[in-house]
Structure 1
Amino acid sequence: MSRAIKHLLIGGLIIMTIAVPTASPANEFKLTIVNPQALYDPSPNGYSTAVIAPLGARIAYISGQGGQDSTGALSPDFAVQVKQAYANLHAALEGIGARPDQVAKLTVFVVDHDMSKLEVLTRNVKDMFGEALPAQTLVPVPKLAIDPILFEVEATVILE
């Protein structure tokens, strides 16, 4: 084999190695939270404008979690349902081997939404996510699948 071909082969292997994406170590996995200065800062309200997943991550979707406890019991109190729904979301995350800081997007559904419910929602999101606030959309609805359910939260999760 000529010397020129050997150099081309070695160079090709280096280029191929550089071009192949590699998984980042677990301690480097992090969602990038973006709150552009040109927009209102939503973080005091418990969410972020956008979240970027790292290259090569897998996506998991968690179905809407309501305020039922493990026996199916449901409090008629909105705040109790919200707290239980986030506990259920946390259990679902653990079930797929994920952490709250891997949640990129939440969609919450609130029956008969009004501004008095925002404090309860914000407190529960901040309790669960801390500073790693996911993107979030609140959808006011007249009712959910079962009449006594007042709140439901679904999540898009980025897996390592």
Structure 2
Amino acid sequence: MKHLFAFLLLICAFQTKAQTFKNPESLFNPAPYGFSHASSVKTPGELIYISGQSGGLGKQHLLSPDFRIQVKTALENLTVILNNYELKPENVMKITILIVDHSSEKLKIWEEEISKVWKTKPFPASTLIPVSKLALDGMQIEVDAVAFKAN
């Protein structure tokens, strides 16, 4: 009987959703801004740490002067890495966004573009950091992420 109970607990553990996103009702609704207040992962699984992806296009890392194009490209670059792990944007638990000369106009562009990539909600936990400069001249955005892949 003890083994049957342990087996049932194990089955329940693997049938529960591994990822949880929380937006407590006592805090503001972050969904319009493209993030959740917190995310957690129940294991077993694999965490994937994705280095900052810029808005540089292709192997030549061509940087458009247009901020929106760089945002789209950074999100596309992030998606390429996720695809290599057979994951989707919804598997991202946490992102950090660095924006050069951040403004409300740039935030609006970010919100519009992330909503196109994250087709199902909730959004991941997120931190946006305004910066004066990034690694290369012309880089206007960099996005890093932590994703989860269930076993």
Asked if TM exceeds 0.5, the reply is: yes
- Across the aligned residues of Structure 1 and Structure 2, the Cα RMSD in angstroms comes to 2.0
Aligned residues: 148
Amino acid at match of 2:141: F
User: C-alpha offsets along residues 79-124 of structure 1, whole Å, 9 cap, x if unaligned?
Assistant: 1101100000000100122111110111000011111111110011
On the 8 A contact 1:23/1:56 being kept in 2, the answer is no
Separation of aligned partners in 2, 1:22 and 1:144: 46
Amino acid at match of 1:90: T
Bigger radius of gyration, 1 or 2? 1
Deviating 4+ runs (over 3 angstroms):
11-23
- Flag structure 1 segments of 5+ consecutive residues without an equivalent: 1-10
TM value normalised by structure 2: 0.88
Amino-acid identity (%) = 34
- Flag structure 2 segments of 5+ consecutive residues without an equivalent: none
Higher percent of residues as strand: 2
On the 8 A contact 2:41/2:148 being kept in 1, the answer is yes
Please report how far the alpha carbon of residue 30 of structure 1 lies from its aligned counterpart in structure 2 after TM superposition: 4.9
Corresponding position of 1:149: 139
Amino acid at match of 1:73: L
3-state SS, counterpart of residue 61 of structure 1: strand
Whose relative contact order is higher, 1 or 2, with alpha carbons under 8 Å and at least 6 apart? 2
Q: 1:35 aligns with which of 8, 11, 23?
A: 23
